[in-house]
Amino acid sequence: MTAAPTVYDVAERAGVSIATVSRVYRTPDSVRASTRERVLAAARELGYVPSGNARGLASRSTGVIGLCFPDYGDPAADTEDDDTAMLYSDQIIRGMERAARRHGYALLIAASLKGGAAGLVAKVAGRVDGFAVMARTVPTEELEVISRRMPVVMLAGPREGTAFLDHLDHIEVANEDGQHELTRHLLVDHGVRRPAYIGTIEQSPDVQARFDGFRLACREAGVETGDEPALRLGRLTQEEGARAAARLCESPGELPDAFVFANDQTAVGALRELERRGLSVPDDVIVTGFDGIPLSRLVRPALTTVRQPMVRMGEEATELLVRRLSSKGEGEPVSRVLPVSVARRASCGCTETTPTL
């Protein structure tokens, strides 16, 4: 890794004073837009990371690793028992913290709703030795700057295929395989013939891979399905899942015999809406999810789902970062696909069994 550029380098490149560079990062609204963009462009070109801890970053001596993910917290999931509301990102955090402690590191978390993550990363990057980033959370240009200063691990989603991202370590799970196996179980073992897949309007590579697995299983079983999900939701939350169930129940024509949701949170919301409408799961309609969050086994009926190893993903992300720090960034990029397992539970008509896959 190259020597870290300084605020002086940025000021010289942008043709402004050091004070102006400082204001761009501390109080951006106090700087004219054209000047601000010139400073930020110079910083991107140089690979400058703004922080009072920049020297510690250059020597990788902060003793902290970072995680950036979009905070899509679901208010409907809040309960007095925190364990029942644990989401996908919470499990990854648990795994990263566990591994970080083993190696003597602390974990710093940057969570932001869509549109704010990039700014957070720019601030947090100067306080950590390495970063794990959820796929499509941070713009490629931001990652390019950060990765010049420290190791970066991408979490979830397939490799994007760009020359830049191919140089990053990457961890994903077998999304397509898991959804294929779950859907095959519904079609073959439960005789489902009218499944409805519920995805998201967001361009999520993970959700797309799951839909691909769903379509493949349907095609193999001779069950017709469209090229698009039955519904696309704005956010994969319990509230949106309940709305999706209501729309499917109120749509003209025959009710689907299975609601196949892209994640557990939406499936849990659907279970509650179906109960409110007096419909029985799985007698009237089967409901399944994906992720395997703790809440999935606590709802009634217990949710059939695909368990992905979220804690392990977090642990392996930390291990890759620590390895990069120890080797000073040397070595070929690592790409790992972690296996998933199908948990067959009451929401599809099964009693819980040993997970498959």
Give the whole-angstrom CA distance, residue 317 versus residue 312. 8
Quote the pLDDT of residue 45.
87
Question: Alpha-carbon distance 239 to 241, whole Å?
Answer: 5
Helices (H) and strands (E) in the chain, counts: 13, 12
Give the pLDDT confidence of 278-322 residue by residue, as tens digits.
Answer: 999 999 999 999 999 989 999 999 999 999 999 999 999 999 999
pLDDT tens-digit readout, 139-163: 777 777 788 788 999 998 765 555 5
The token duo for 173 is 């799970």
Fold of the CATH domain 175-308+342-348: Rossmann fold (3.40.50)
Kind and range of the H or E element at 311? helix 310-326
What is d(CA 172, CA 179) in angstroms, rounded to the nearest whole number?
14
Per-residue model confidence (pLDDT) at position 240: 95
Q: Whole-angstrom Cα distance, residue 312 to residue 107?
A: 16
Q: Indicate the pLDDT class of residue 52, thresholds 50, 70 and 90.
A: very low
Band (61; pLDDT cuts 50, 70, 90): low
Taking a C-beta distance cutoff of 8 angstroms, is the pair 125, 151 a contact? no
- Looking at per-residue pLDDT, the higher value among 188 and 119 belongs to 188
Most confident of 39-48, 88-97, 123-132, 343-352: 343-352
Q: Residue ranges per domain, the chain?
A: 1-32, 175-308+342-348
What is the CB neighbour count within 10 angstroms for residue 126? 21
- Torsion sign (Cα): 171, 199, 76, 177: negative
